[in-house]
Amino acid sequence: MGIVGGGLGSFIGRVHTVAAGLDNRSELVAGAFSSNPERSRQSAPGYGVDESRAYGSYEAMLDAESRLPEDQRIDFVSVTTPNHTHFEIAKAAVEAGFNVVCDKPMTFDLDQAEQLLKTVENSDVVFALTHNYTGYPLIRQAREMILGGELGEINAIRAQYIQGWLRDKLEDDDQKQAAWRTDPSKSGAAGAFGDIATHAYNLGRFMTGVLPETVSCSLKSFVEGRQLDDYGTAVIRYENGALGTVTASQISHGRENDVEIEIDGTKGSLKWRQENPNELHYRQNGKAHQIYTRDPNAPYMHETAAASCRLPSGHPEAFFEAFANVYAAAFDDMAKRAEGATIDRKKSLYPSVHDGVEGMYFIQQCVASHKDNAAWLPLKHPVARV
């Protein structure tokens, strides 16, 4: 494993390395931790990386690692930098033949995303996007329940992602995480909608497979002087007639990382909250409310969900494990690729470059809709699939 980003003070870089290493299936051995070579070197020891493999740029890393013997070089590149740099890094890595695990949103804009899609499709690399919430065992359980018909036809998808940390204008305090996320030149066309609404939207897509049709979106920048949205609501019409909402906030006092999704089907309904991820509420009229817990041995657990658990029920798992599950699914395909086996992307559980394109399209259309007085715009991208 080689990482791009993750220099001193980084949050998400550390998450990637812990997640990737949780099951002992990969080891971080190289990194372009910073575009400042000195800083990159300084970051290496904290990751247990030999300084000789701490590079001053992603280009240097790709170049040097490519020259190493196959059994020594990195197998994949994790891209954990701010959004505006994802494209060139990921593209170069793919073109150099490395598998890629890329943070979301995938690129700066849709155009880049579509180019990257082509690059990936012209390669045989494994490309995974860390929509990490899809890695929670009970999200996979919900997905299997829905795709297997247990909920019947899906009528409604209500997703919220509520945070409060950008209530103050932290970007003025030189807070690194806040600074690039609120800077259109680094984050892209959207703020909260690019950073977190995409997660909520993707979660509904992942869980239900229902295809979107059109979207109407209203965005707000409640903090004075902020350049990008810090709040917004999108209403989504789905192809099958379902109605959805995605609401994202970064300005809700005291709210931490509250991803919540409710799904109504003709045969049952589900509710899940990320802050209490070991419970999935399943309801059917005329029956007791049921709480499915993350129990790998429970008869109700579907295969992919049970296989995503590391601990018995009651021993809570959380954020790192979910993140690790996305990596684990990608590792499965990387192993197949290494063996020359065929990869059936329909069975892959990790979000892919296609999801990345869909996500960028979602952001683009939401912003466009907002600018046009919340007009209804198309939302289904040609690459969308169940």
Q: b/e for 341-369, b at 16 or more Cβ within 10 A?
A: eeeeeeebbbbbbbbbbbbbbbbbbbbeb
Q: In this chain, which stretch among 86-94, 97-105, 112-120, 162-170 interacts with its own copies, using CB under 8 A?
A: 162-170
Q: State the DSSP H helix or E strand holding residue 283, giving kind and residue range, or none if neither.
A: strand 279-283
What is the rounded CA–CA span in Å between residue 194 and residue 211? 20
- Minimum CB distance to its own copies smaller for 320 or for 385: 320
Per CB under 8 A, 256 contacts its own copies: yes
- Binding its own copies (rule: CB under 8 A), the pick from 15, 192, 197, 366 is 15
String marking each residue 72-111 x if it binds its own copies according to CB under 8 A: ----------------------------------------
For residue 74, count other CB atoms closer than 10 A to its CB: 25
What is the rounded CA–CA span in Å between residue 285 and residue 47? 51
- Binding its own copies (rule: CB under 8 A), the pick from 10, 119, 155, 364 is 155
197 Cβ contact partners less than 8 Å away, ≥ 6 residues apart: 161, 190, 232, 234, 246, 247, 248, 362, 363, 366
Per CB under 8 A, 174 contacts its own copies: no
Per CB under 8 A, 288 contacts its own copies: yes
Q: In this chain, which stretch among 53-61, 192-200, 267-275, 352-360 interacts with its own copies, using CB under 8 A?
A: 267-275
Residues 313 to 342: which contact its own copies by CB under 8 A? 313-321
- 379 dihedral zone (left: phi>0; alpha: psi -120 to 50; beta): alpha
- Minimum CB distance to its own copies smaller for 42 or for 257: 257
Per CB under 8 A, 180 contacts its own copies: no
Please give the span between the terminal C-alpha atoms of the chain, in angstroms, as a whole number: 30
Per CB under 8 A, 252 contacts its own copies: yes
- Binding its own copies (rule: CB under 8 A), the pick from 6, 204, 277, 351 is 277
Q: In this chain, which stretch among 33-41, 60-68, 200-208, 227-235 interacts with its own copies, using CB under 8 A?
A: 227-235
Q: In this chain, which stretch among 92-100, 101-109, 181-189, 249-257 interacts with its own copies, using CB under 8 A?
A: 249-257
What is the rounded CA–CA span in Å between residue 49 and residue 33? 11
- Binding its own copies (rule: CB under 8 A), the pick from 146, 251, 357, 367 is 251
- Binding its own copies (rule: CB under 8 A), the pick from 245, 343, 348, 383 is 245
- Minimum CB distance to its own copies smaller for 235 or for 343: 235
Within 13 A of 157's CA, how many CA atoms are on the CB side?
A: 29
- Binding its own copies (rule: CB under 8 A), the pick from 48, 97, 149, 378 is 48
Which of 280, 116, 292, 104 lies closest to 202, judged by CA? 104
- Binding its own copies (rule: CB under 8 A), the pick from 76, 87, 231, 350 is 231
Per CB under 8 A, 304 contacts its own copies: no
Which burial class, exposed, middle or buried, applies to 67 when counting CB atoms under 10 A from its CB (0-12, 13-18, 19+)? exposed
Query: In whole angstroms, how close is the CB of 80 to its own copies at the nearest point?
Result: 15
Query: In whole angstroms, how close is the CB of 230 to its own copies at the nearest point?
Result: 9
The residue type of 231 is Y
Query: In whole angstroms, how close is the CB of 316 to its own copies at the nearest point?
Result: 4
Give phi and psi for 265, each to the nearest 5. Answer: -120, 170
- 198 dihedral zone (left: phi>0; alpha: psi -120 to 50; beta): alpha
Residue length, the chain?
A: 386
- Minimum CB distance to its own copies smaller for 21 or for 37: 21
